[in-house]
Amino acid sequence: MRISSSIALLISRIALGIILMGHGWQKFSEWGIAGTADSFDAMGVPAAGLAAVVAAVIVLVAVGAGQMSLDRIFFGKRAARG
């Protein structure tokens, strides 16, 4: 993999991580779980209170898990070949 591709992937992963982390944190801090649950309820999501907590936690956890998955997808195969 060329250095320019590696840098582009790094920048993409960092940007995606910041976006997801901000999106998940917003559910806790800005709107609060109650506000998120109200929004989910207005959209017709069943068990909106539980769904709000699950969605907020999953988005925050997805940042770390997603970054590890991307590393495995893009760099794990390369390491196995090398």
19-49 pLDDT, tens digit each: 877 777 787 788 888 999 999 999 999 999 9
- Which element (helix H / strand E) includes 36? helix 32-42
The whole-number pLDDT of residue 75 equals: 63
For the cut 50, the answer to whether the pLDDT of residue 82 exceeds it is no
Go through the chain and tell me how many residues it has: 82
- The one-character DSSP state at 82 is -
Rounded-to-integer distance, Cα 33 and Cα 36, Å = 5
- The one-character DSSP state at 45 is -
